[in-house]
């Protein structure tokens, strides 16, 4: 079994020391899905709180930049790019978040955080219309760069 890098030899949690790693361009994309009933989907453009899809997009970008403040052992990263695409589908809203940096560690957590916070924002802005909205399918789609190499979900 592969050793987890966030634990020391005594089993205590620790922040990984990346000071010896070289800077490389690193990217990640993650997704989340917000399952919403047809009646609420039709009302999205007329939401009294504003356009939930645009607000979710901005919330996701802001969250990517704050990931290290939310996840205790994440390194603070300077992102060279973060974006969130929000697409209405037949059964809800698909969110795909991306992040890019040039640094010694990857941006998977930034992409995952962006997708998750964007999904939570869609929920927050539509919960008055339907409490049964659910968030699902949060996962990493792909990542590039770093010692671990590239990954693409199949």
Please give the positions annotated as active site.
124
The total number of residues shown for the chain amounts to: 154
Residue with tokens 């939401």: 47
Q: Cα 21 to the chain's mean position, in Å?
A: 24
What dihedral angle (degrees, nearest 10) is formed by the CA atoms of 142, 95, 62, 57? 140
**Which residues on adjacent β-strands are paired with residue 86?**
95
Handedness of CA 116, 57, 120, 38 (dihedral sign): negative
**Which residues on adjacent β-strands are paired with residue 140?**
30
Q: Quick one: which of 34, 118, 117 has its CA closest to 71? A: 117
């Amino acid at each position: 079994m592969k050793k987890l890098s966030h634990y020391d030899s005594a089993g205590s949690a620790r922040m990984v020391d990346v000071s010896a790693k070289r800077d490389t361009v690193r990217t990640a994309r993650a997704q989340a899905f917000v399952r919403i009933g047809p009646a609420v989907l039709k009302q999205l453009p007329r939401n009294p709180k504003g356009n939930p899809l645009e607000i979710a997009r901005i919330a996701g970008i802001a969250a990517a930049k704050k990931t290290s403040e939310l996840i205790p052992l994440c390194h603070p990263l300077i992102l060279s790019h973060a974006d969130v695409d929000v697409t209405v589908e037949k059964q809800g809203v698909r969110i795909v978040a991306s992040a890019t940096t040039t640094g010694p560690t990857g941006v998977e957590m930034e992409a995952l955080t962006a997708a998750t916070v964007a999904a939570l924002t869609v929920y927050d802005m539509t919960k008055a219309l339907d409490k049964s909205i659910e968030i699902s399918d949060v996962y990493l789609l792909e990542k590039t760069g770093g010692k671990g190499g590239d990954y693409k979900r199949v």
